[in-house]
Structure 1
Amino acid sequence: MTTQSSNSYSVDPQTAHQFYINGRWSSPVIPASLDVVNPATEQVVAQVARGSAEDVDRAVAAARAAFTGWSATSPELRARVLGKIHELILERKELFAQALTLEMGASISSARAMQVPLAAEHVRVARDLLSSYRFRTIEGGTAIEREPIGVCGLITPWNWPLYQITAKVAPAIAAGCTVVLKPSELSPLSALLFAQLVHDAGLPPGVFNLVNGSGAEVGAAMAAHPDIDMISITGSNRAGALVAQAAATTVKRVTQELGGKSPNVLLPDADFAKAVPLGVMAAFRNVGQSCSAPTRMIVPKSRLAEVESLAAATANAIIVGDPQAEDTQLGPIANEAQFNRIQTMIEAGLDEGAKLVCGGPGRVTGFEKGFYTRPTVFSNVDSAMRIAQEEIFGPVLCIIAYETVDEAVAIANDTIYGLGAHVQAQDLDLARAVASRIRAGQVHLNYPAWNPMAPFGGYKRSGNGREYGVQGFEEYLETKAIVGFGE
């Protein structure tokens, strides 16, 4: 797929203009291409093939033909293949890190420390589950069997490109499904690398297929396709709704991981000197381009001035710059449309009367090119403001004050979303009690370590279904009851 050494990455223009279908690289039915822009320079660095409904038909046909054989393989065989995929991701981690930096502006340090190793963890978890998961249980003479759902259409976003691919592909093929992947057209390079990797790992032809293209063309064709049994999408609410509507006519399973406006509730006994800086960095991780980023910091009104000072000091110390520089913490926003969206929302915060603590509109000083955004903190934010209700998807933090714990919980739940949440308190019983009252699919207490086994997904308009761990694996399985099976 690339001209490469073990530590370098460059796009192979021939392979980039092809899709991976039925175990080989092949050209699109209708020749067309999409530009890939480096957000650090705003220059086109590659072109990839642009797919059509006809290409989706070819990929689905390959996946359907491969399903019978792959679904009948043993868990042990599937685990061995996943083990090889995991091994190759780690072997090629620098190659992936460089590709991620080029295609979506991830700082090289975060690509190496988070984007690639956490992606590898999803593969490891899927592999390890196969050694313990019981696909058949007997309950009172009835056999409960869990069987692969079939051909899965997987639609992944631009903000965590490799991570979201492995979070879907690994459990799907572990379950015995076959897949058609549509990565984001804005960050497709790591997906091309992954396709070559699964080929090199020995995955049989047709089990994994890749078609690049737009959501309006390839994504819509996948969602409506009668031979796709399930769609899993991570993306915006608008995209998730369109996919669900298109999928409804064929009554396929649809799982969605969509937007978020996650709260971070600092209870009165929290260690503010620790909790506030960590909260700022959690909100700004991946330049704020994470659906579960805790971008609403909910704090006691009596501590507001202290929180503002701590937040400003943390945000102002963040190094924003060239993603290839070793000391850069935040690179550019991943694409121009998202950069413009963030600028619009910062202006909305100012117009609505929020207090600008630090940052603000405009590019980072010294960068005339590249989608570099100033880490921004607002205070005196009211829950009715746009910046408190709408997903900004950038390094913008809203500080909202409360008088009572009940009010803090009400503010936390005052959103159409329910993906993630954080609670900080020295009294763990109090933190647990507050967590149980927050309507979100995953709640973090006192900034715990990331857990790849913890199910992840949303309440309300943040989606449905779960990813990661056992629950994410089971999304790719059907349940069959065989009554009268016997003990």
Structure 2
Amino acid sequence: MIDHPFLGNAPKQLFIGGQWRDAASGETFDCINPSDASVLVKVARGGAADIDAAVAVARTAFDSAWRDWKPLDRQSLLLAVLARIEARFDDLARLETLDMGAPIARTSTFRRWIRQTFQYYAAQALSTRGDVMSNSVPGDFMSYSLKVPLGVVGAIIPWNGPLITQLWSICPVLATGCTLVLKPAEEAPLSALMMAEILQEAGVPDGVVNVVPGPGATAGAALAAHTGIDKITFTGSTATGRKIIEASASNIKRVSVELGGKSPDIVFDDVDLEAAARGAAMACFNNTGQICYAGTRLFVQRGIYDRFVEAVAEVGRSLRVGHSLDPDTQVGPLASRAQLDKVESYFDVARADGARIVSGGERLQGALGTGFFVTPTVIANAHNDMRIAREEIFGPVVTAIPFDDESEVVKLANDTVYGLGGGVWSRDVGRVHRVARDLRCGMTWANCYGVTDPGVTFTGAKQSGYGNKGGPWHLDEYLLNKTVWLNLA
């Protein structure tokens, strides 16, 4: 039995209207520790009836005095929540590690990011403003805009980083006066449920934030199609995102979706080879490759291709793969057995297509027991038309593709349905700016990869989705920009 204050013998319940309750069906599911395949706890399995209940209380909360809270009061509430998170942070980080397998060395670094996020949105709560607009209507009319909270928000978050992902909805909801129904993935719902407990302790009014874990096919689909939801935000696969968008037509709700990726990471032959190899390796191997914008297509200029690929492979070999609670672990397990099976299947695909596995390419058991472990993997002799270069694997698997010049590699990099992230490594400043401009993706990193900040916009292009997270435009997605006409005559 894992010793953690949030876990116990009793099943974890749904959080609706400030109350913990069983699912309407009475069903539960097992929450699995990816490091050893043990059952951490049973969790109530939410369904359509529970989504209905959560949306109803969220609507009631929105129509209450909550929507009229003053900006200073919202700021104070955000900072009160942050104080409670910081007081319980170690338990929260450890719970995330147990639930989805991210190494404790990774989750323990989230403290600063969480602090930045709450402080940023606390500042944004005081910064909402409208505009006075000139008009040419005959007579004496004044026209202006004001921003009011949009309403009830539904958020469906993935299993690969729920502790961070949930804040992209919770913080703007608290800053604007909206309310929220949050559906975490079945594979990793625990940090969202513990966050609900923390929000209640900090004084968030009942019904403002509700948490309903459950299957995407039932609970998620019900939330996406619900006519009581004014905005749906989804992070996950492109295939599911397409269904979310289709379901939103039920009441023409607002939609923002962050979807799949197969991001290009481009390395030119003038780089500091050692530093770039380390950066390119961790662009894929970080969080066991379970990052939507991971740099999984590694384009290397032909003159340094063999040396660079071997250097990336050597970084992968040097990383310590192990149980997520081990403080020395750098690469933890994949989040589920299903994900392990999926990632492993691509090793056979690569071999069948004629690619060469330089390092990794195997499931790890033995001393690691029954956990969902796979080695960091580098694949060479690849080209951009192979399945391993087209399909999102979502594991620590990088496919290295050679190129000759800038024009060629930009075309190759853009030859994908995805457009989330991209990277470029070069000492040539002009070339860096040209490539960053020409890559068709929402975010490009130059001589680094995967750097994020809540004050900087995170967005996608093409089939990687649309809508903003973080930065100066995020809050606008939770607000109605309302026009007012005033006859001054």
Match of 1:454 among 449, 453, 456: 456
Per the TM alignment, residue 365 of structure 1 is displaced from its structure 2 partner at its CA by: 5.6
Does the 8 Å contact 1:123/1:167 carry over to 2? no
Q: Given the alignment of the two structures, is residue 93 of structure 1 paired with residue 95 of structure 2, yes or no?
A: no
2:354 aligns with 353
2:139 aligns with none
Cα deviation digits, residues 149-175 of structure 1 (max 9, x gap): 100001111000110001111112212
Cα deviation digits, residues 33-85 of structure 1 (max 9, x gap): 01111111111121100112111111111110111222211111111111111
1:35 aligns with 30
1:368, 1:50 → 2: CA distance? Answer: 28
Secondary structure at the residue paired with 2:229? coil
2:119 aligns with 124
1:227, 1:25 → 2: CA distance? Answer: 22
Give the aligned residue type for 1:466: N
Does the 8 Å contact 2:61/2:206 carry over to 1? yes
Alignment map for 1:23-422 (pairs within 5 Å)? 23-68=18-63, 69-114=65-110, 116-131=111-126, 133-140=127-134, 141-363=142-364, 366-422=367-423
Secondary structure at the residue paired with 2:468? coil
Does the 8 Å contact 1:119/1:167 carry over to 2? no
Cα deviation digits, residues 357-381 of structure 1 (max 9, x gap): 1111332563341111011001121
1:485–1:89: structure 2 CA closer, same or farther, 3 Å change rule? farther
2:486, 2:44 → 1: CA distance? Answer: 52
1:119, 1:389 → 2: CA distance? Answer: 33
Does the 8 Å contact 1:173/1:179 carry over to 2? no
Give the aligned residue type for 2:453: N
1:384, 1:365 → 2: CA distance? Answer: 35
1:91, 1:218 → 2: CA distance? Answer: 32
Paired positions, count: 478
2:466 aligns with 464
Does the 8 Å contact 2:35/2:323 carry over to 1? yes
Per the TM alignment, residue 10 of structure 1 is displaced from its structure 2 partner at its CA by: 4.4
Does the 8 Å contact 1:333/1:371 carry over to 2? yes
Using the TM superposition, name which of 469-478 and 162-171 deviates more: 469-478
2:308, 2:324 → 1: CA distance? Answer: 29
Match of 2:482 among 480, 483, 486: 480
1:333–1:390: structure 2 CA closer, same or farther, 3 Å change rule? same
2:443, 2:33 → 1: CA distance? Answer: 33
2:365, 2:315 → 1: CA distance? Answer: 16
Does the 8 Å contact 2:113/2:453 carry over to 1? no
Per the TM alignment, residue 269 of structure 1 is displaced from its structure 2 partner at its CA by: 2.3
1:22 aligns with 17
Runs of 4+ more than 6 Å apart: none
- What TM-score results when the alignment is normalised by the length of structure 1? 0.95
Give the aligned residue type for 1:56: I
Provide the identity percentage.
36
Cα deviation digits, residues 380-434 of structure 1 (max 9, x gap): 2100001101111100011111111011111111111001111112222321111
- What TM-score results when the alignment is normalised by the length of structure 2? 0.94
Give the aligned residue type for 1:112: S
Secondary structure at the residue paired with 1:444? strand
Using the TM superposition, name which of 285-294 and 241-250 deviates more: 241-250
Per the TM alignment, residue 435 of structure 1 is displaced from its structure 2 partner at its CA by: 0.3
1:13, 1:138 → 2: CA distance? Answer: 58
Does the 8 Å contact 2:226/2:250 carry over to 1? no
Cα deviation digits, residues 164-221 of structure 1 (max 9, x gap): 0011111122121100010111101111110000000100111111111111111111
Per the TM alignment, residue 99 of structure 1 is displaced from its structure 2 partner at its CA by: 0.5
Per the TM alignment, residue 13 of structure 1 is displaced from its structure 2 partner at its CA by: 4.2
Give the aligned residue type for 2:469: E
Using the TM superposition, name which of 218-227 and 439-448 deviates more: 439-448
Secondary structure at the residue paired with 2:364? coil
Does the 8 Å contact 2:297/2:389 carry over to 1? yes
2:115, 2:234 → 1: CA distance? Answer: 20
- Root-mean-square deviation over aligned CA pairs: 1.7
1:10, 1:151 → 2: CA distance? Answer: 28
1:192, 1:10 → 2: CA distance? Answer: 9
Secondary structure at the residue paired with 1:126? helix
1:336–1:119: structure 2 CA closer, same or farther, 3 Å change rule? farther
1:226, 1:10 → 2: CA distance? Answer: 34
2:429, 2:335 → 1: CA distance? Answer: 37
2:106, 2:31 → 1: CA distance? Answer: 21
1:436, 1:364 → 2: CA distance? Answer: 44
Give the aligned residue type for 1:454: V
Using the TM superposition, name which of 122-131 and 391-400 deviates more: 122-131
- For structure 2, the residue ranges without an aligned partner over 5 or more in a row are 135-141
Using the TM superposition, name which of 38-47 and 267-276 deviates more: 267-276
Give the aligned residue type for 2:132: I
Per the TM alignment, residue 321 of structure 1 is displaced from its structure 2 partner at its CA by: 0.7
1:119, 1:351 → 2: CA distance? Answer: 44
1:276–1:485: structure 2 CA closer, same or farther, 3 Å change rule? farther
2:483, 2:461 → 1: CA distance? Answer: 29
Does the 8 Å contact 1:120/1:166 carry over to 2? no
1:377, 1:200 → 2: CA distance? Answer: 46
Does the 8 Å contact 1:364/1:374 carry over to 2? no
Q: Given the alignment of the two structures, is residue 430 of structure 1 paired with residue 431 of structure 2, yes or no?
A: yes
Give the aligned residue type for 1:415: T
1:195, 1:12 → 2: CA distance? Answer: 17
Per the TM alignment, residue 23 of structure 1 is displaced from its structure 2 partner at its CA by: 1.6
